[in-house]
């Protein structure tokens, strides 16, 4: 009798210990269900997409929507635009921003000018896009750079630049000064020391910074919506959005495009996982 009761208590204790896991699993389910649903719509035949009751599992899968969107449709071109744009703007932001980060982290600045400049640079990143978009639109129109990848690449470079400076400054500050001073005593120039000694040391940080720039450019919507209005210049998010706001929506092709649009982001996030906190808090929290 005693044993049975303590067995009960033991079981109750075990069940209670499981509760937090159940709650966490429920949270994961809520976080992933919309993504899963989008995936199923992209894989279902049109008759099944909006069937009642909703088919969460056990539907006939087809790849026709992916073919529709990418082989027959224009999403392949949008995809290419997005890839080019993300790559060009990331490389440009790194090329301009890394030296600035190094300059702020390594040199003596009178009267805390390094802090003031860094704060000013970061505060430009906080400008709401909608504030600068009207003048940028008019400026690019004047320069005949509307609806061109170059115009949007310039804007994205400026958008990511503050982030690069702020992130990389933190990484450079973690490298002991003595390392490059030794290299410079051995006859290495300042920029040689940066390129050959310091950059390899901060490579993980550099990679994480690049990943964040890529993701921002890849996901960005508002600038792209306004600055690329022709079919030829559209990015993937704008292409998807232009289909949703039409009267008759091809949900299958659009979901397929959406699934394809989120894959690179998830891959990149997995790659930069160690630096997610630092990157997403604009480099403010070390992690």
Partner 1 sequence: MNRRRIPEGFPWVLPSLLVLLALSIYPLIYSVKLAAADRGNFTRLFTDRLFLTASIQTIVLTIAALAIEFFLGLALALLVDSLARGRMFFRTALLIPMLLPPVVAAVAWRLIYNPQFGVLNGTLRWLGFHTAHLTWTSGESSALASVILVDVWEWTPFLFLLLSAGLQAIPPEPLEAARVDGAGAWRIFRDVTLPLLKPTIVLALLLRAMDLVRIFDQIFILTQGGPGTATETVSLYIYRTAFRFSNFGYAAAMSFVLLAATMLFSRGLLRAMRAR
Residues 25-54 that bind partner 1 (CB under 8 A): 27-28, 30-32, 34-35, 37-38, 41, 49-50, 52-54
85 φ, ψ to 5°? -60, -45
Interacting residues with partner 1 between 193 and 222 (CB under 8 A):
215, 218-219, 221-222
Interacting residues with partner 1 between 164 and 193 (CB under 8 A):
165
Least separation, in Å, of the C-beta of 74 and partner 1? 16
Please say which residue, 8 or 112, places its beta carbon nearer to partner 1: 112
Least separation, in Å, of the C-beta of 24 and partner 1? 5
Report the distance separating Cα 45 and Cα 43, nearest Å.
7
Q: Mask: binding to partner 1, 6-25, rule CB under 8 A, as x and -?
A: --------------xx-xx-
Does residue number 247 form part of the binding site for partner 1 (CB under 8 A)?
Answer: no
Report the distance separating Cα 247 and Cα 29, nearest Å.
32
Q: Mask: binding to partner 1, 92-131, rule CB under 8 A, as x and -?
A: ----xx-xx-xxx-xxxxx--xx--x-x-xxxx-xxxxxx
Secondary structure in 3-state letters for 27-96: HHHHHHHHHHHHHHHHHECHHHHCCCCCCCCCCCECCHHHHHHHHHCCHHHHHHHHHHHHHHHHHHHHHH
Least separation, in Å, of the C-beta of 128 and partner 1? 4
Interacting residues with partner 1 between 132 and 161 (CB under 8 A):
132-139, 154-155, 157-159, 161
- The token duo for 12 is 């109750």
Instruction: Name which position in 63, 207, 244, 271 contacts partner 1 (CB under 8 A).
Output: 244
C-alpha dihedral, 214 to 215 to 221 to 222, nearest 10°: -70
Crossing angle of helices 129-142 and 149-173, in 10° steps, is 130
Please say which residue, 195 or 266, places its beta carbon nearer to partner 1: 266
- Non-local (6+) Cβ contacts of 23 within 8 A are none
How big is the site for partner 1, counted in residues (CB under 8 A)?
95
Least separation, in Å, of the C-beta of 65 and partner 1? 13
Please say which residue, 8 or 107, places its beta carbon nearer to partner 1: 107
Least separation, in Å, of the C-beta of 180 and partner 1? 14
């Amino acid at each position: 009798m005693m044993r049975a009761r303590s067995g009960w208590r033991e079981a109750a204790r075990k069940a209670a210990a499981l509760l937090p896991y159940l709650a966490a699993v429920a949270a994961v389910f809520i976080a992933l269900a919309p993504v899963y649903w989008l995936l199923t719509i992209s894989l279902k035949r049109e008759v099944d997409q909006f069937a009642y009751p909703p088919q969460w599992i056990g539907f006939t899968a087809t790849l026709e929507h992916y073919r529709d969107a990418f082989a027959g449709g224009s999403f392949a071109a949008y995809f290419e635009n997005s890839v080019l744009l993300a790559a060009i703007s990331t490389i440009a932001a790194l090329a301009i921003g890394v030296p600035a980060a190094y300059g702020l982290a390594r040199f003596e600045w009178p009267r805390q000018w390094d802090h003031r400049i860094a704060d000013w640079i970061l505060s430009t990143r906080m400008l709401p896009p909608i504030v600068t978009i009207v003048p940028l639109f008019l400026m690019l129109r004047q320069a005949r750079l509307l609806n061109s990848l170059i115009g949007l690449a310039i804007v994205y470079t400026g958008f990511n630049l503050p982030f690069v400076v702020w992130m990389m400054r933190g990484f450079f500050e973690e490298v002991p000064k003595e390392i490059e001073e030794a290299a410079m005593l051995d006859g290495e120039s300042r920029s040689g020391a940066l390129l050959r000694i310091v950059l390899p040391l901060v490579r993980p940080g550099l990679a994480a910074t690049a990943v964040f720039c890529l993701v921002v450019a890849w996901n960005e919507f508002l600038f792209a919506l306004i600055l690329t209005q022709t079919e030829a210049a559209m990015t993937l998010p704008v292409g998807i959005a232009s289909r949703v706001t039409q009267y008759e929506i091809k949900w299958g092709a659009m979901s397929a495009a959406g699934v394809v649009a989120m894959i690179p982001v998830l891959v990149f996030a997995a790659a930069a996982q160690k630096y997610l906190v630092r990157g997403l808090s604009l480099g403010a929290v070390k992690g």
